[in-house]
Amino acid sequence: MVCPEIVPFAKTGGLADMVGSLSIALKQLGQRVSLIMPAYASVLQGRFPLRDTGIRVAVSMLGRTEEAQVLAATVGGGMPVYLIRADRYFGREHFYTTPQGDYADNAQRFTFFARAALEVLREIDPADILHAHDWQAALAIAFLKAQPERYPGLASVRTVLTVHNLGYQGLFPLQDWGALGLDRTFFDAHGLEFYGKINFLKAGLVFADALTTVSPTYAQEIRTLEYGFGLEGVFQQRGADLAGILNGADYEVWDPATDPFIARNYTPEDLSGKRPCKADLQGVFGLPQEPDVPLIGMVSRLATQKGLDLVQAAMEEFLQRDLQFVLLGTGDRRYEDNFRSVAERNRGKVGVKIAFEDALAHKIEAGADMFLMPSRYEPSGLNQLYSLKYGTIPIVRATGGLKDTVEEFNPVTERGNGFVFQQYKDSAMLAAVDRALLTFRNQKQWVTLMKNAMRADYSWDRSARGYLSLYERLMGT
């Protein structure tokens, strides 16, 4: 696995969780897995026991030779993680972007990472599969396929690229081409060129043996103009090589039966702990501790992708209902300011915390009655999986992994595990909220719905078996 961030060493989002969890699940299925990532400053300064492997790798960059030290650690009961230390590129406070914007030399940084990862691959146990994740690692596949003579011994390695979020592609001006060390013939419509720019993600899409993304529905959506971010033609051409494998949830971390962050543990067989969790959450946000008032939660990156514009547009009408609302997240300043303002104007009904707090995220998942995810697009989504496990009923838009995991509750048959709306409109979102509120008033049905949700299985074992099947097909076994 080649990835720019992996839990527990470095994380900006679900990518790090996915790669860490998938790797452990594959190891538990009997596979040998190694991970490769950059040694960021925060990793070097952190609590991780790192050792020097003695391996040094050299990469030619812009006519000069750059060296890196290879450190190692272990996770998941002995699985090796190799960390590429090159302080010139990775010894910085942030991974990819600062509050002022992206690092100006990101093209060089992740070209170096991709080439150094291949050099590490030559030094460690031979691999059957090179599985790269997102644009920061995609060039490793392109270099391996486009310049096999530079990587003797890796000719038989099969390659997989996973796209976690097509909204991030690694686009750079043509003036950065020299850093890549590729022949200029690769800069065309069939290669790395994308509307006059270099596209790192496209490099992997063009050269990988197999492509995956993180839910079956998203694998279909990215072939369309609406969701393809300009790459829909590539996905259409490579449709036979594209699979959608749903991400899993780490139930060792997210399980109300064992969660150490919540006021009281509970299970589908004994839901009595849910009410103390709600009271605790209301206390944290300074809301009245009214058990019969429905409490809707959100934990989200505050970005347009997440449907925050719908929530803003609907807020006035939304708050006319008998409910409480809490939100945790950080992101775009305009959303941060807006939700702070909403909370100040609606004290006792709305609680907002502009932060990233893992413990509080657990409290929201356990203490809320419903969880709102009105995403414009959502490749996989994790919070709806956590919400299901905690009996916190998801209200979602039918896109990507949300569509694949949340089924509209039918009050007649009592099948389903949440509430789903189709159109990207605030009125459609409010209608789904109203269906949830109506069901909440029927205590017997609500308990049935909670148990439906909590018994859904979206474990990593299930996802890992999907990847293992793909690897075996590539290997011809």
pLDDT in the model for residue 98: 86
The answer on 425 and 380 residing in a single domain is: yes
The answer on 215 and 90 residing in a single domain is: yes
The answer on 183 and 296 residing in a single domain is: no
Asked if the structure places residue 262 within a domain, the reply is: no
Between CA 199 and CA 239 the distance in angstroms is 19
Tell me the average pLDDT across 374-397.
Answer: 96
pTM, 2 dp = 0.92
Range of the domain at 449: 271-458
Residue 199: φ, ψ to 5°: -120, 105
The answer on 185 and 47 residing in a single domain is: yes
Cα R_g (the chain), whole angstroms: 23
pLDDT at 477 over 80: no
Residue among 156, 218, 127, 213 nearest 403 (CA):
218
The answer on 283 and 233 residing in a single domain is: no
How do strand 419-421 and strand 393-397 relate by DSSP bridges? parallel
Do residues 161 and 212 lie in contact, with contact meaning Cβ atoms separated by under 8 Å?
yes
Kindly report, residue by residue over 212-267, the tens digit of the pLDDT: 999 999 999 999 999 999 999 999 999 999 999 999 998 999 999 999 999 999 99
pLDDT in the model for residue 267: 97
pLDDT in the model for residue 47: 87
The answer on 469 and 429 residing in a single domain is: no
The answer on 451 and 465 residing in a single domain is: no
Residue among 387, 404, 418, 397 nearest 463 (CA):
404
Asked if the structure places residue 156 within a domain, the reply is: yes
Kindly report, residue by residue over 96-153, the tens digit of the pLDDT: 988 888 999 999 999 999 999 999 999 998 899 999 999 999 999 999 999 999 999 9
DSSP of 130-156, one letter per residue?
Answer: EEEEHHHHHHHHHHHHH-GGGSTT-TT
Return mean pLDDT, the chain.
96
Asked if the structure places residue 40 within a domain, the reply is: yes
Do residues 380 and 390 lie in contact, with contact meaning Cβ atoms separated by under 8 Å?
no
The answer on 402 and 277 residing in a single domain is: yes
Q: How confident is the model at residue 345 (pLDDT cuts 50, 70, 90)?
A: very high
Kindly report, residue by residue over 425-459, the tens digit of the pLDDT: 999 999 999 999 999 999 999 999 999 999 999 99
Total number of domains constituting the chain? 2
**Interhelix angle for 333-345 vs 308-318, to 10°?**
10
Query: Residue 353 sits in a domain of what CATH number?
Result: 3.40.50.2000
Asked if the structure places residue 468 within a domain, the reply is: yes
